Structure 1
Amino acid sequence: MDEGVLISAPGKVILHGEHAVVHGKVALAVGLNLRTFIKVLHTRDNAVLLNLPSIGSKLTWNVGQLQPLLPSFKGGHEPVSPRSEQLDLLRKFAGFSEGSQDTESQAVLAFLYLYLSICGQWTETELKLINSWAFQGEKVIHGNPSGVDNAVATLGGALQFQAGQITPMKRVPMLQILLTNTRVPRSTKILVAGVKDKLLKYPSIIEPVLSSIHAISQECQRILEASSAALSIDQFKVLEELIDINQHHLNVIGVGHPSLDKLCQVTASHGLHSKLTGAGGGGCAITLLRPDVDHSVVEAVKQQLVDCGYQCWETSIGAPGVTLHSSLSLPEDIINAFSNV
């Protein structure tokens, strides 16, 4: 094998606008500096190897096995949505049961769909093309995705999302946060349906709450784009107030959870401000870290959250998008992780 290429893309969190965005309001999605890395290598044994160490999956196919599948995936140079018959063909080929939704099967199906669809067609590396193909992979996994995840992973930074339109923000300061996983599973579909039911039942109550969340997103965007230098402490305090207000609104529309309440209590006891990110009902939350917060405070918060049974990462938002790396630009732990792949 040669040394190949190493590429990464950021994760994503919603800063403001969860659930309200489903009803035409503004949401802000930001790149998260917890990155997914992929190493692409040429092989000499006429094989396609897929190694996904984070989910314990390692598969190999001979190119000859994949060749008969190619005619079903040639659709021209532009990205195309996966058809149900194509996904059924891939499930049968990979030995997955019909309707399988586990992480490994979804990841493998997305890889095979993109590999077979792109194979022999990639003539440019423009971000638009990467984003378009990534969106098709999202469709394999989620069926009818919004396009936010793949757009943030491709473009990085921060994006405004409203009514299907995605617009990069003009300025994106790198803000330090804690990302905390409560480890409480939830169904996005059920939570979205619950908000819709509340809106239909109490339109004069819930619509103003969604409009307020919309206004929070707009005010947050105004602050982030307003300054050409680092944000002031006063601006950070406004961002903290917006976080608190939005978290209360999200509880009002029914997507809170006791695990998230506990998380907010823990961080508030140390003078920090948190809100859920994404669907709610458990899942993850973000905590804004002002630059004047002592690191010992951050460490104490992290330990207390871990003691609650949560997972906690200190990271940043506003991260760059898809990136081609040289070995010189990578931290040693990342180099070591790929040294034996």
Structure 2
Amino acid sequence: MLCNGSVLPPNIHPTGLTVSVSAPGKVILHGDHSVVYGKLALTASLGLRSRMRLIEISAPNLVIFQLPILDFTLTYDLEKLREYLLIPMLPLTHNANEFNWEYPEMIHHDAILDIVDSFISYTSGTAPLNVHQKMALSSVFFLIAGILGSVNIELNSFLMTCETDLFIGAGTGSSASFVVSLAAALLQFVKMKTGGQGNISKEEYKACFLDAGSDKNFSKRELDMICKWAFCAEKIVHGTPSGVDNTTCTYGGIVEFRKGLAPKLLEMLRPLKILLINTKVSRETRKLVSKVAALHHQYPDLTNNILNAMEDVAFIALQHITSLCTWTGTTEGLVNDQIRNSYEELGRLASINHSLLSALGVSHLRLDEVIHILAENGLQGKLTGAGGGGYATCLVSPYVNPSVLEKAMLDLDARGFQAVLTEVGGNGVMIE
């Protein structure tokens, strides 16, 4: 049943467990598109977050999903959910006797997604679902099947709701933030339901024992599992994701990422400020990735040269970002000069990177207009993410005159853009 709104139906009240988690969005500082081809990417967590709550409720045999940003509330029969999604998954996994929820890489992704699609088709009836609603629901039910399907818990009626500071389809990792917070909420829910004691797997599956420790933070093992499940769900949204978005939203900070290799996390001693500019032009990541792939197929040598140049930019930027990550805030003498120089070089590299992305055909007139307005105010930036609209970013040096920054934001606002000053490099997914 589909209904609009974001409130509980009458006579339904919270009871039992409540789980609250949040995950940041992300921006790609360097490596947009080139990361798909194995090149270096530098990403950062945003100060804008998605917040997921899972609440056991008093209503019998009822599951409610609320996503205000997608303007819907969906209710489902809990027994039907159990029947479709929590059946034994042994035929849907590789090496079934070795499977438990720690190994999402072992599942038959498409087979589980087929079951999820059947469940949505059966239960939604004639209710219209747009593409974003369908992907969100598919991600929810996919992770419920994958994470809860093999664990030995009693599933009671519950409400799951997600609110976010992020815009959909704008290049700030809204889908990754959503699925990371979703996977984390389900993992924390299992921990709370089982009390973290003993083997939590159903008897058909390989035994699994939870980490002992604080309920206030996720362990490294748990973060790794959240990241892997989120990557599985990202395939539903993006087809062939690089893995950089779910990695950044899970671990936070600044991430040095290359496809096929373990991410390297850069510890920051102080946050970096960034101007995040919304062009208010929507776009689809999948289509833009396909556009670059088509260009690469038609002009492989030419495209490879652009991609290689983008990696050179990312590598040089990494050296400057590393110096900023270790900066304690000292503003005297040589240290001050080094930091000022790093900010100046990062601005120059952002401009170069934007030009290279434009050469790949993924910029937009509105993005180019943002870059022009920034330049008029002595600032430099680039598109972030897939391009074609979405957001542009501008790293803000502590040496920028506040009046200059204020004028730039006013100029952007006057031209119909929305500029927000926020931080990058903060916490990843966390329990709230």
In which range does the TM-score fall when normalised by the shorter chain?
Answer: 0.7 to 0.9
Asked whether 1:308 is paired with 2:415, we answer yes
The answer as to 2:5 corresponding to 1:5 is no
What's the % identity of the aligned pairs?
33
- In structure 2, how many angstroms separate the alpha carbons of the residues matched to 1:103 and 1:194? 21
Aligned counterpart in structure 2 of residue 237 of structure 1, from 315, 322, 344: 344
Q: CA deviation at 1:55?
A: 1.8
What's the CA shift string for 1:145-189, capped at 9, x where partnerless?
Answer: 222221111111122222332412333452111111212233434
**Does the Cα contact within 8 Å between 1:55 and 1:104 map onto a contact in 2?**
yes
Cross-structure match for 2:309: 212
Query: Higher mean Cα deviation, 76-85 or 258-267?
Result: 76-85
Choose between structure 1 and 2 for higher RCO, CA contacts under 8 A separated by at least 6 residues: 1
Give yes or no for contact 1:31–1:152 (8 Å, CA) kept in 2. Answer: yes
- 1:321 and 2:428 are equivalent in the alignment: yes
1:31-50 aligned within 5 A: 31-46=45-60, 47-50=62-65
Find the partner of 1:226 among 313, 323, 327.
Answer: 323
TM-score (norm 1): 0.85
C-alpha contact 1:220 1:239 (8 A) present in aligned 2: yes
Other-structure match for 1:139: 235
Change (3 A) 1:118 1:270: same
Structure 1 residue 111, shift from structure 2 partner: 1.1
Report the 3-state secondary structure (helix = DSSP H, G, I; strand = E; otherwise coil) of the residue aligned with 1:42. strand
Alignment of 1:179-198 (within 5 A): 179-198=276-295
Deviation at 1:305, TM superposition (A): 1.8
Equivalent-residue separation in structure 2 for 1:182 and 1:96 (angstroms): 36
Counterpart of 1:280 (choices 363, 375, 387) is 387
Residues 32-71 of structure 1 correspond to what in structure 2 (within 5 A)? Answer: 32-46=46-60, 47-71=62-86
**Distance of 2:115 and 2:80 partners within structure 1:** 16
TM-score, normalised to structure 2, is 0.69
| Separation in structure 1 between the aligned mates of residue 126 and residue 374 of structure 2, nearest angstrom | 43
Structure 1's unaligned 5+ residue stretches are: 326-341
Instruction: Check conservation: 1:82, 1:140, Cα contact below 8 A.
Output: no
* Aligned residue identity for 1:5: V
- The CA distance in 1 between the partners of 2:57 and 2:287, in whole Å, is 44
Matching residue's letter, 1:88: D
Structure exhibiting the larger radius of gyration computed from Cα positions: 2
Q: Which amino acid aligns with 1:57?
A: F
Distance 1:6 1:266 in 2: 40
Deviations 1:200-226 (A, max 9, x none): 554554433221210111111122223
Please report how far the alpha carbon of residue 271 of structure 1 lies from its aligned counterpart in structure 2 after TM superposition.
Answer: 1.4
Partner-residue secondary structure (3-state), 1:221: helix
Secondary structure of 2:363 counterpart: coil
**Structure 2 vs 1, CA of residues 226 and 298 (structure 1 numbering), >3 Å: closer, same or farther?**
closer
- 156-165 or 267-276, larger mean C-alpha shift: 156-165
TM-superposed CA distance for 1:100, in Å, is 6.3
* CA-CA distance at 1:278 after TM superposition: 1.0
DSSP-derived class of the 2:263 partner: strand
> Is 1:23–2:37 an aligned residue pair?
yes
CA distance in 1, matches of 2:66, 2:128: 23
CA deviation profile, 1:289-340 (whole Å, cap 9, x unmatched)? 1112233433332232222222322211112110112xxxxxxxxxxxxxxx
The whole-number CA distance in structure 2 between the counterparts of 1:296 and 1:254 is: 34
Gaps in structure 2 of 5+ consecutive residues: 1-13, 91-99, 152-189, 191-199, 201-209, 211-217, 330-338
Q: For the residues of structure 2 that align with 1:134 and 1:207, how far apart are their CA atoms?
A: 30
- Give the alignment partner of residue 290 of structure 1, picking from 363, 388, 397: 397
**Is 2:253–2:266's contact at 8 Å kept on the other side of the alignment?**
no
Is it true that 1:106 corresponds to 2:135 in the alignment? yes
- Shifted more, 166-175 versus 12-21: the winner is 166-175
Distance 1:71 1:171 in 2: 39
Q: Judging changes above 3 Å, is the alpha-carbon distance between structure 1 residues 107 and 282 closer, same or farther for their aligned structure 2 residues?
A: same
Asked if the contact 2:255/2:263 (under 8 Å) is kept, the reply is: yes
CA distance in 1, matches of 2:88, 2:46: 33
Superposition pairs for residues 84-103 of structure 1, below 5 Å?
84-95=113-124, 102-103=131-132
Does the Cα contact within 8 Å between 1:131 and 1:154 map onto a contact in 2?
Answer: yes
Contact 2:256 2:266 in 1 (8 A): no
Residue identity opposite 1:229 in structure 2: W
- For residue 328 of structure 1, what is the aligned residue in structure 2? none
In structure 2, what is the Cα distance between the partners aligned to 1:290 and 1:73? 54
Describe the SS at the equivalent of 1:165: coil
- Alignment: residue pair count: 325
Alpha-carbon shift at residue 198 of structure 1 (Å): 3.8
Bigger shift: residues 10-19 or 84-93 = 84-93
Q: Distance in 1 between matches of 2:355 and 2:144?
A: 44
Matched to 1:146, the amino acid is S
For 1:217-258, what per-residue CA distance to the aligned partner results, in whole angstroms no more than 9, with x for missing partners?
111112222352247111111111111111111122222221
Measure, in 2, the Cα distance between the counterparts of 1:291 and 1:324. Answer: 31
In structure 2, C-alpha distance between the alignment counterparts of 1:299 and 1:74, rounded to whole Å: 56
The CA RMSD measured in Å over matched residues stands at: 2.6
Letter in 1 for 2:145: L
CA deviation vs aligned residue, 1:57-95 (integer Å, no higher than 9, x gap):
212223223221134463542323352421321321342
